[in-house]
Structure 1
Amino acid sequence: MPRWKAFGGALFRVLAVWLMSSLTLLLLAALLPDFRLQSGSGDSLTRTALTAALGAGAFGLLGAVVWPVLVRALLLVPALVLGLLVFFLNGSLLLLALDLLPAGSGRAAPQTAVIVAAAMSAASSATSGFLAVRNDEAYHRRLVRLAGRRRTRRARPRPDTPGTVFLQLDGLGHDLLREATRGDRPLMPTVARWTGTSHRLTPWRTDWSSQTGASQLALLHGSNEDLPAFRWYEKDTGRLVVSNRPTGAAELQRRAVERTGDGGLLTQDGASRGNLFSGGADQVALVMSVAARRGRHNRSRAGYFAYFSDPANATRTAVSFVAEVVREVVQSLRTRCRRELPRVRRGGLYPVIRAFATVVERDVVVAAVMGDLLAGRTAVYADLVAYDEVAHHSGPAHRDTHRVLRSLDRAVALIARAAAHAPRPYRIVLLSDHGQSHGPTFRRRYGLSLGALVRAGCGLPVRRRADRTPSGAEAREAARAALHRPEEPVGDAPGAAGPPERDGDTTHPLVLASGNLGLVSFPDVPGRITREELDRRHPALLGTLTDHPGIGFVLVRSAEHGPVVLGPAGAEHRLDTGRVLGSDPLAPFGPGAAAAVRRTARFPHAADLMINSSYDPATGAVHAFEEQIGSHGGLGGAQSHPFLLWPAELTPPSPDGAPLTGAEAVHRVLRRWLREADGPQLPLEEATNEPSGR
């Protein structure tokens, strides 16, 4: 494009945005009683319009000059507080712009200035977006602005090899994705267009611990060894480890790096966005494993500041945030009025946490990924947690999740459009870390919690009113990290029954929940308690658990037979030998269940008892030990079957057609795809020899 034509187009867009901002000022001055653009004696329409134009111009110039300085000065402010503070700062800039007008023509009350400034930012953003649609260069500049990037003096070299973007749609199972991409009007039209044309879809099977901590640690760092659940008690250190907390995530990442001797999937010019772990990336934003750092070494929150430094971004996200809170309240009331079952309580702070996951975190992560694309980074891994958060409380296939899936599809489309303007070609891989299984909670279905059942089996007093076990979804801890809130003490941890209680010299069992997987530890017993010792201490406990209709099976270590899976009516599956007594308690959970349980049984930090809820193969229902009607964390149903959607030009995940089992196997596939971008694809023989499972 000729330089004069580009300059003319840019000038036209600036004037159009200026005009729209001026008209917005005039309209608001006519509507709001505490805002005026005339002097006390009154002005002509022409003079008022000129005042509006001067005010809009001054406001725009102040925003362009002052905002970068203000954002740098606010680096120590909690990220979500910054999002709210943007409105007040924006209003202050408007008041300053009005003070610069001649003869005191403009006046506004402080609270009105906040509203006017937000409306002007929204109007200018909408205008620039509309004008950029028909101009590739202008659209590229708009993408840069949306991504919150600042032009650097040192340009990165333009690579010829393609980059790779891994987008994790947290909690979306394979079968639900297929449903969302079917029909004439699919819920996810962008993904539907990819499926069967440019991309290929396949399921994979998780480990026993079907949750983000275990899956993503292996996906990014190649190993989830000795990670038995979402949360667990370690007898050797006497502490509770929770995988979505900053300290827990940092420790798990350290162990994985030490075990593999490798930094992770993203060590070569990579970026990690919205994840629990960094993957070895140098560029991180909203990453839990580095969120506990303080000072200049913590770059995880940089994504918030880059995004909210643009008042238009803050305005758009804030409006969507409020709308999402209202939507959740309405949907919750509708569910209660219709007496839909199963359901869980959705009051308290949950509407705010949901809005954080579905709006704030989504917007910031998508903007960060777009910035990575425009910067030409080699590998990007990002996690979008919106669906997982809503499905926990509404149900995996409930209509409340439909809008979330549409929103995620729009996010994928926006990232794909940004990739078209990147300095290098990109391959976009969609994947999930687990699915979700539906069903009423254990407490709702049977009237008592798992902790109460264990106490009853041990002959301990049980409270008449069953304890509620709150949800421990990822968005809750992400919101706490964004607000600089300290981690909750052990006794307040979602899914925990509290710190170990003592009765004289005896310590009561500690019961933890991880979806429909329960863990029982006896802190006063060194190492893992044996079945024989447990029968001597609490002779009724194992029978109480295995004969309960809500319990599918119990894993315990036997001094004589090694790890044993116990089921109802005395059924046993001895994992070391494969011998089954009675009806196999693992049979309802399908092929691969025995191998998954056997692997977990050898973990040093596996609990004394590992309890999986019952599972109905006909309906796919499980019973979470937390307050979730869409759950994951154990075996049973869709939770164990996430998906992998990859570009057709890449080699298949498993060229020989063998099932892809375990997140560590998927990590090897992702590494292979990154290698393929650097040169010729692997020979088929070498790819075939790569193991697809354990």
Structure 2
Amino acid sequence: MGDGKWRTAGRALMRVTAVWAVSTLTMLVLAGALPDFQLQSDDGDTVTRTAFTAAWGAGAFGLLSALVWPVLVRALLIVPALVLGALVFFLNGSLLLIALRLIPDGRGDANPETAVVVAAVMSAVASATSTALAVRDDEAYRRRLSRLADRRRRRGRPPGPAEPGRDGPPGTVFLQLDGVGHDVLVKAAADGLMPTVAGWLADSSGHRLTPWRTDWSSQTGASQLAILHGSNHDVPAFRWYEKETRTVMVSSRPASALEMQRRAIEHTRDGGLLTVDGASRGNLFSGGAGQLALVLSMAARRGKGRRSRAGYFAYFSDPANATRTALSYAAEVLREIGQSSRARARKVTPRVKRGGLYPFIRAFATVVERDVVAAAVLGDMFAGRTAVYADLVAYDEVAHHSGPHSRDAEKVLVRLDRSLALIAKIADHTPRAYRIVLLSDHGQSSGETFAGQYGLTLKDLVRAGCGLPVPRRAQRTRSASEARDAVRIALHRPVEGQEAEHPAKLSDPIVLASGNLGLISFPDIEGRASREQIERRHPALLSTLANHPGIGFLLVGDGEHGSVVLGPGGAEVPVAELTDGEGPLAVFGVGAAAAVRRTDTFPHVADVMVNSMYDPATGTVHAFEEQVGSHGGLGGEQSRPFLLWPRALTDPLDIVAAETAAGAPPPPGGGLVGAEAVHRVLTRWLQEASGPQVPVRAEGFGGAGLADEPFPGDAQAREAPGETA
């Protein structure tokens, strides 16, 4: 064995010894502090004997954690991921009880509740000690992760097309900050909340930033589908109704996400952005990647390696990860309860309810998902993968309920920046160089909800405009009263006899919400309902909606003009004649007319598309859901996400200009417009890094049936994304 290997082995032995010693000391302190935890016989022991007992127990617990814990976690794949937080503590406590039973002469004992506390503290202390030692030994840390990558390759991962070392073609990591708008990112960097991003922007040789404009449907389902698969054709909203199958498609449902992905691949005949040695982490769609973790569309598929939660359990197979993230999860739940309580006490407006399961859902998005995805990305980088696309959803979840400019959301940005810093730091130690591209899928616009402002939901207003019964709480509102009056005038008779006016054969309208975009469908009208058909059935509905102060404009089919946009005061413009800055779309900015025209061509466009009002002076919209920060339609920052890229890559606007010069239609208003354009830019960048890529056959989903595991806790050793405060 050479001198270098002896030194490496010596340092590794010292680290193990140090962690063992600290764990032993921790166990002694806990035994002295907790009355139900003992390391002595009933007659008492000498200090030396007690120390020996603690060392034995700490060693046994560490060994069990290393050998048994991964087996236990992998056996729990059938357990819902949200239950894992509680199981972490239970399983850890059980391992400690077993370790105490292994101490000679039965000197170790603890009741189950105390065992859970002792195990959690010991795991946290061991993780912190290991982290501190790793930070002091960069080379050992790099070698450890490299060995893990080599081990994974030997277990069966075929090498990518290029794993040539740091002098070869670079890989690319695409990190999506879900819901972070361009202006939010710029302000956070300027205010010191995101120093990593600020450093990229300030360094003249670093990165460049540009906004881009979303489609009318400004939400993750439409944007990420187009970014990863090149098309979001026929995705009119986050959720929509399809008459031919009588189903509601919802982007966050695995079956719907899988069908959306299948349609996009069929439309483009291309497997996706990540078909060549790619990895998809925490996304709605696979992008054609062969390596997957936490990909929603794959959760609808069955078979070995296709379990949607496999990535979570691979991460939690390291007890240090499990304990740290579980503690952070609990802290985040308490943080949300405290923040929502303060918001209620201070009567903050706008405000929505944040009780029930929401604190746990928020903690899952801001802690568990963030930690697991960050670890997966680090593992991909050390495995030398060509392209990685990961979605960090923390900000979007909090901004929906607290507001995109709230203090709560700003704190999430601070923690996300730490994850970015960790990934950027690790890039210095990976077997190949990496270019880091930061982007978002949409922004968020703030404002009081439609129901909070007017006392009734969009569904209530639609039913009132149809003369249908509405809930008692909505009957007393001014909007419902005006709608009933409009029905009475239109029908020239009282509305009390509603049953006679609406025969049983007419089904109720289906009203869906996607942020501040509403969709109304009449399921018993075959195909897209025309304006004339709707007005024959419900003569007051369209005028009631168009003239409501909370609604900006409607899109509806028309027998004479094909489709028309309706606005307040009787405004009516054929879709073919729409112009930015004029008519009902006047306040919605450049590109609004083109976005509406494109959606109008979708086969599953709703019978009536409803966009809320937008106040350009305040930037506010009214969400048709219970969200004070929303996205899904037109109006404000929701339509203005960002793209941040290394200067070594071609400027996106130059790519757009080249496309226009080659005969493509120029984007309305200039700039980077639509998620499909972003896909073309990212594809060009991958080609620049590694040469032209050969798409995988679409029929195979780009190998998307294969699951992969992120690295365990060593990948987090520098600056673990999880926090306990």
* Structure 2 length-normalised TM: 0.86
Give the match for residue 689 of structure 2.
677
Q: Does structure 1 residue 322 correspond to structure 2 residue 327?
A: no
Shift of 1:60: 1.4
Q: Does structure 1 residue 522 correspond to structure 2 residue 522?
A: yes
Once the two structures are superposed, the pairs formed by residues 555-570 of structure 1 within 5 Å of their partners are: 555-570=555-570
Aligned residues: 644
Q: Does structure 1 residue 269 correspond to structure 2 residue 277?
A: yes
Q: Structure 1 405/144 Cα, relative in aligned 2: closer, same or farther at 3 Å?
A: farther
Listed as ranges, the gaps of 5+ residues in structure 2 are 476-501, 658-669, 694-725
Counterpart residue identity of residue 42, structure 2: G
Give the match for residue 286 of structure 2.
278
Give the match for residue 22 of structure 2.
20
Give the match for residue 675 of structure 2.
663
Query: In 2, distance between residues paired with 1:310 and 1:530?
Result: 58
Structure 1 contact 438–621 (Cα < 8 Å) conserved: yes
Query: In 1, distance between residues paired with 2:330 and 2:381?
Result: 29
Structure 1 contact 83–308 (Cα < 8 Å) conserved: no
Structure 1 contact 172–436 (Cα < 8 Å) conserved: yes
Cα shift readout 1:84-124 (whole Å, capped 9, x = no counterpart): 32322222222222222121111111221121111111111
Query: In 1, distance between residues paired with 2:151 and 2:181?
Result: 33
Give the match for residue 540 of structure 1.
540
Per the alignment, in what secondary structure is the counterpart of residue 270 of structure 2?
Answer: coil
Structure 1 contact 520–607 (Cα < 8 Å) conserved: yes
Per the alignment, in what secondary structure is the counterpart of residue 554 of structure 2?
Answer: strand
Query: In 1, distance between residues paired with 2:590 and 2:379?
Result: 43
With a CA cutoff of 8 Å and minimum separation of 6, indicate the structure with the bigger relative contact order: 2
Give the match for residue 609 of structure 2.
610
Q: Structure 1 148/524 Cα, relative in aligned 2: closer, same or farther at 3 Å?
A: farther
Give the match for residue 75 of structure 1.
77
Query: In 1, distance between residues paired with 2:240 and 2:148?
Result: 40
Structure 1 contact 573–579 (Cα < 8 Å) conserved: no
Query: In 2, distance between residues paired with 1:261 and 1:209?
Result: 23
Per the alignment, in what secondary structure is the counterpart of residue 291 of structure 1?
Answer: helix
Query: In 1, distance between residues paired with 2:123 and 2:232?
Result: 46
Structure 2 contact 74–317 (Cα < 8 Å) conserved: no
Once the two structures are superposed, the pairs formed by residues 33-48 of structure 1 within 5 Å of their partners are: 33-48=35-50
Give the match for residue 99 of structure 2.
97
Query: In 2, distance between residues paired with 1:147 and 1:597?
Result: 48
Shift of 1:74: 2.8
Query: In 1, distance between residues paired with 2:154 and 2:473?
Result: 61
Per the alignment, in what secondary structure is the counterpart of residue 280 of structure 2?
Answer: strand
Query: In 2, distance between residues paired with 1:438 and 1:14?
Result: 51
Moved more, 165-174 or 301-310: 301-310
Per the alignment, in what secondary structure is the counterpart of residue 529 of structure 1?
Answer: coil
Give the match for residue 476 of structure 1.
none
Once the two structures are superposed, the pairs formed by residues 460-479 of structure 1 within 5 Å of their partners are: 460-466=468-474
Counterpart residue identity of residue 429, structure 1: V
Give the match for residue 230 of structure 1.
238
Listed as ranges, the gaps of 5+ residues in structure 1 are 468-501, 682-694
Per the alignment, in what secondary structure is the counterpart of residue 553 of structure 1?
Answer: strand
Shift of 1:10: 1.3
Shift of 1:337: 0.9
Counterpart residue identity of residue 278, structure 1: S
Give the match for residue 189 of structure 1.
195
Give the match for residue 258 of structure 1.
266
Counterpart residue identity of residue 433, structure 2: P
Per the alignment, in what secondary structure is the counterpart of residue 421 of structure 1?
Answer: coil
Q: Structure 1 616/263 Cα, relative in aligned 2: closer, same or farther at 3 Å?
A: same
Shift of 1:143: 5.6
Shift of 1:292: 2.1
Query: In 1, distance between residues paired with 2:144 and 2:123?
Result: 14
User: Residue 380 of structure 1: which of 381, 388, 399 is its match?
Assistant: 388
Shift of 1:166: 0.5
Query: In 2, distance between residues paired with 1:637 and 1:579?
Result: 18
Structure 2 contact 8–140 (Cα < 8 Å) conserved: no
Query: In 2, distance between residues paired with 1:377 and 1:517?
Result: 39
Cα shift readout 1:176-210 (whole Å, capped 9, x = no counterpart): 10000114xx1000111011421000000000000
Per the alignment, in what secondary structure is the counterpart of residue 8 of structure 1?
Answer: helix
Shift of 1:647: 0.7
User: Residue 371 of structure 1: which of 379, 387, 396 is its match?
Assistant: 379
Cα shift readout 1:16-40 (whole Å, capped 9, x = no counterpart): 1011000010000001111111112
Once the two structures are superposed, the pairs formed by residues 361-440 of structure 1 within 5 Å of their partners are: 361-440=369-448
Shift of 1:680: 9.6
Counterpart residue identity of residue 566, structure 1: L
Counterpart residue identity of residue 602, structure 2: F
Moved more, 199-208 or 118-127: 118-127
Per the alignment, in what secondary structure is the counterpart of residue 265 of structure 2?
Answer: helix
Query: In 1, distance between residues paired with 2:91 and 2:262?
Result: 40
Query: In 1, distance between residues paired with 2:533 and 2:428?
Result: 63
Per the alignment, in what secondary structure is the counterpart of residue 473 of structure 2?
Answer: coil
Structure 1 contact 149–371 (Cα < 8 Å) conserved: no
Shift of 1:77: 3.0
Once the two structures are superposed, the pairs formed by residues 593-608 of structure 1 within 5 Å of their partners are: 593-608=592-607
* Structure 1 length-normalised TM: 0.90
Structure 1 contact 268–281 (Cα < 8 Å) conserved: yes
Query: In 2, distance between residues paired with 1:88 and 1:342?
Result: 40
Query: In 2, distance between residues paired with 1:14 and 1:56?
Result: 12
Q: Does structure 1 residue 591 correspond to structure 2 residue 590?
A: yes
Moved more, 655-664 or 33-42: 655-664
Structure 1 contact 174–642 (Cα < 8 Å) conserved: yes
Query: In 1, distance between residues paired with 2:131 and 2:148?
Result: 10
Query: In 2, distance between residues paired with 1:679 and 1:250?
Result: 30
Moved more, 305-314 or 652-661: 652-661
Query: In 2, distance between residues paired with 1:339 and 1:70?
Result: 46
Structure 1 contact 98–106 (Cα < 8 Å) conserved: yes
Structure 1 contact 571–583 (Cα < 8 Å) conserved: no
Structure 2 contact 88–326 (Cα < 8 Å) conserved: no
Once the two structures are superposed, the pairs formed by residues 331-350 of structure 1 within 5 Å of their partners are: 331-350=339-358
Query: In 1, distance between residues paired with 2:33 and 2:551?
Result: 63
Query: In 2, distance between residues paired with 1:590 and 1:134?
Result: 53
Give the match for residue 163 of structure 2.
158
Give the match for residue 487 of structure 1.
none
Moved more, 296-305 or 236-245: 296-305
